[in-house]
Amino acid sequence: MAEPLLSIRDLKVEFSTRHGRVTALDGIDLDLLPGETLGIVGESGCGKSITALATMGLIPDPPGRIAAGHIVFDGENIVRADAARLQNLRGADISMIFQEPMTSLNPVFTAGDQIAEAIMLHQSASKAEANRRAVELLRRVGIPDAERRARSYPHELSGGMRQRVMIAIAISCRPRILIADEPTTALDVTVQAQIFDLMRDIQRQFGVAIMLITHDMGAIAEMADRVAVMYAGQIVEKGSADAILDDPLHPYTRGLIGCIPVLGKESGREERMPPLAEIPGIVPPLHLLRQGCAFADRCPLAFDRCRAERPVLKGEDHTVACFATELEAT
């Protein structure tokens, strides 16, 4: 295994709320290898976005804080880095694209200005040079008529184009890690495919490592090399994308995969489509988490031990935190 570019160890993030202190991330271990795509999947409120923000050093503090653990980027623990160091890392080495391209661009500046801004923050380029490169980047991310589009305001662009502009901003300084927080959730399915194509293309060309955060197993299947499944602030299953999609071990992962509608089964119309599976219930509010497995209340396989004790990740390459699976295996 190659040396990881980003290595998160035992990361614990806490938020103080009116219910007292809650643990949003409870001991996360993740590795991101150079040039790979790591998918992080889970329902809303599982801590996926918090993982991304923690990596960027952007946990809102207060109310949040990193209570324990390391985030090591290229040999440097950035949890303890000071504000100036983080500002230099952000955008230049690690950058991020967001879920809502509608709201993640500043409405009062043109697309070109915002890309040029990012370039000038990290590189000594003149305004004219930055503008020229902004147009080049817009062309690079597949925006037609880039010279003119550079002068467009965000509200004049479609959702897909805005996400392309966001990607142009994110790659403007050739980062080594690109964190994509639900980059296609707000887009049409056809546009989703285009954005994924673009991301793959950029990954090929720049060798950037992508941390893809999503709740969409389809996106994982399409993009990810390795996958971490998160539930209630913990990683419940981790492994290669193939292993997890073909042979999911954790009941939660199985549930997530069961939620993907299967279209056009071989035999065609006469065979009725199987009813869409669902996972009953919702992710428990963090302040109500008790001892035991967080998924126990929704789990079809849960037994007494699941409610008393918390399972830990076990396994070689494909690891899972589930007592029921352990029983199955033995």
Partner 1 sequence: MSTVEPAAASRAPEAISPLKEAWAVYRRNAPAVFGALLLLAIVAFVLYGTLIYKGDPYEIVWAPQTPPGVEATVPLGTDNLGRDLLRGLLKGGGPTLTVGAAAAVITLVIGIFLGGIAGYFGGWIDDLLMRITEFFQVLPALLFAMVIITLFSPSTITTAIAIGVTLWPQTARLTRAEFLRIRELEYVTAARSIGARNGRIMWKVILPNALPPLIVSATLTVGVAILFQAGLSFLGLDDPNTMSWGLMIGMNRQYILDAWWPVTFPGLAIFLTVLAVSLVGDGLNDAFNPKLRER
Q: Does 81 bind partner 1 (CB under 8 A)?
A: no
**3-class SS letters over 153-190:** CHHHCCHHHHHHHHHHHHCCCCCCEEEEECCCCCCCHH
> Which residue from 37, 51, 104, 319 is in contact with partner 1, where contact means CB under 8 A?
104
* Cβ atoms of residues 294 and 284 within 8 Å: yes
Could you tell me the two tokens for 322?
């589930």
Could you say which of 44, 77, 106, 291 contacts partner 1 (CB under 8 A)?
A: 106
Which amino acid is it at 218? Answer: G
- Three-state SS for 11? strand
Cα separation of 120 and 135, whole Å? Answer: 14
Cβ count near 245 (within 10 Å):
17
Mark residues 10-49: x for contact with partner 1 by CB under 8 A, - for none: ----------------------------------------
Which residue among 20, 75, 126, 144 contacts partner 1 (CB under 8 A)?
144
Interactions with partner 1, residue window 107-136 (CB under 8 A) = 107-110, 117-118, 121-122, 136
- Interface with partner 1, residue 1, by CB under 8 A: no
Q: Which of 161, 155, 56, 173 is CA-nearest to residue 115?
A: 173
Beta bridge partners of 180: 97, 212
Stretch that binds partner 1, among 96-104, 216-224, 290-298, 316-324 (CB under 8 A): 96-104
- For position 61 contacting partner 1 by CB under 8 A, the verdict is no
The site for partner 1 (CB under 8 A) is made up of 56, 58, 62, 86-92, 95-96, 98-100, 103-110, 117-118, 121-122, 136, 139-145, 148-149, 151-153, 156, 158, 160-161, 164, 166, 169-170, 172, 191, 194, 197-198, 201, 205
